[in-house]
Amino acid sequence: MSDAAPTERLRPADASEPRAAGTPLPLRILVVCNDMVLRLKLADLLAAQCPGAVLDTCTARAVRELGTRLVGYAAAIPIVDFAAPREAGDPLAIVSELRACAKGLAITVIGRGGDERSALAAVRAGAFDYWSLHAVDAVALVAALRVQVLGPAVVAPTAPASLAAALAAAGYRLLKELASTPKATLYLAASSELGAPVALKVHRHAADAAASDEETARFLRECRLISQLNHPSIADVYDFGVTVDCHWLAMEYFPCGSLKARLQHPLSEAEAVAYTARIGTALAQIHAAGIVHRDLTPANIMLRADDSLALIDFGLARPALAPSSVTSPQVRVGSPAYMAPEQIDGVPPDGRCDLYALGVLMYEMFTGSLPFRSESLPELLEQQRAARPPRLPPALARYQPILDALLGKRPGDRPASAGAFLDMLAAVSAEPQARRSK
C-alpha cells in the first residue's frame, strides 16, 4: 500500500454518467481493520445495501496517513479487536484518531471479542453506535448510517408498512429492531423533532377488542406514571400516542444496552456493589413518588454511556397500595424469578416487593446465577415463598445479612425502605476501608 493511496477502493464512484447539477455527492464510508479479508468482507456486505455509495477500506495505520483527508468521508466503521493482547495498546485508540482528524465523522464501532463494557467504552470514546461482529445486520447498519449522516426517511425492514407509516406520521422513522416480546417491540428510531435517536416501544393492538382495551389502559397508565417522574435514574420519556394500529412510547435510547446483557459477563465485586447502590437510589426515587415498579428485572434496567443506569418498563407499576382497574389483586404480575412472595399470593404490594427483586438482582450480580432456580414454575414459586436465601461465596460473606434481609419472605422482614437499604449497604461497603485505615 503506497503513501499516496493508503486506502483500498472497493467500489469507485460511478463516473459512467455525468452527475446533474445539485445532485448530492455519494455517501463515502471508510472501513478500518488490520485484517484485510475481514474489512473487505464487511465493505462488500455494506456495498450490497448502499447503492451509489463509495466504500474505501484501510488499516489502522493508514488512518494516520490519511490525516485531514478523512474529512471527505461521511462515516467510518472501525473493526476493533477487544481480545487483542494488552501490549497491542488501547483497541479504541482508532476512534480517537478518527475524531481528531474529522470531528464530524459518524463512527460506528464493530467489536470483535468484546462485551457490553466494550460497547460502553466505544460510546465514551466518541462512537455513535456499536455492533458486535457476530451480530452485524448490514441492512440496519446502513439504515442507521444514512439517518445519522443524511437524515432520510428510513423504514426498519422488520416493521409492517402500515405500522411504519403510522409512526412516520407521528414524526418517527424506524431504523432497526432492538428487542421483541409477544406483546411489544422496541425499535431504534429517528425523531424529526428531537434530531436524535430514540427508543420507540410499540405495542400492536390485540385482535380481541377487550384485550386491546386492557393493554391500552395499562400502557396509558405507564405513560402517566413515568411523566410524573424527573430523575436521572428514570428513563426520559419524550412522547407517546395511540393509533389505529398501535400505541407507542418514545423514550431515551440506551446504546449500551441493559443490565441483562451486561450480566452475560462477570461483574467484579465493586461493579456489583455500585450497580446495586444505583438501583437502590432509583427505587428510593420512585417510591418517594408513591410508585411501586413491580417488575424489577435486569432487562428493565438500562445502562448509559457514563455507566449510570435508568429504570424502564413501568407497565406493571402502580401507586403503592392503590387498587388497580387493570389487574385483579388475585392475578400474578411480574417475572417469576424476581417476584416477591406477596406478589405470588396476589397481595397488593408496596415498595418492599421491589426490594425483594433487588435482593435477587444483588445475588445474581455477585454470583452470575439466580438465587432460586427450577425448570418447574410451581417449584420456583414455592422456593420464592419458603426457601432460605443461598449463601454467598466466602469472599462476599459480609453482604450476607443484607441479602437475607432483602430476600425476607414477609415484607416486614425486609428493610423498611430503599433508603434504609442504602444505609445498610454503605456501612458494609465501608468495612474493608475502615480495616485498612487502622
Q: Looking at the annotation, which residues are catalytic?
A: 295
At residue 247, the 3 state secondary structure works out as strand
Would you put residue 432 in left (φ > 0), alpha (ψ -120 to 50) or beta?
alpha
Q: What are phi and psi of 285, to 5 degrees?
A: -70, -50
Distance CA 295, CA 256 (A): 21
Strand order in the sheet with 28-32: 8-11, 54-58, 28-32, 75-81, 106-112, 129-132
Please state, in angstroms and rounded to a whole number, the distance separating the CA atoms of residues 137 and 132.
10
Name 232's Cβ contacts closer than 8 Å, sequence gap at least 6: 308, 310
Dist CA 241 CA 140 (whole Å): 25
How distant is the alpha carbon of residue 343 from its chain centre? 27
User: In the 3-class helix/strand/coil scheme, how is 163-228 assigned residue by residue?
Assistant: HHHHHHHCCEEEEEEEEECCCEEEEEEEECCCCCEEEEEEEECCCCHHHHHHHHHHHHHHHHHHHC
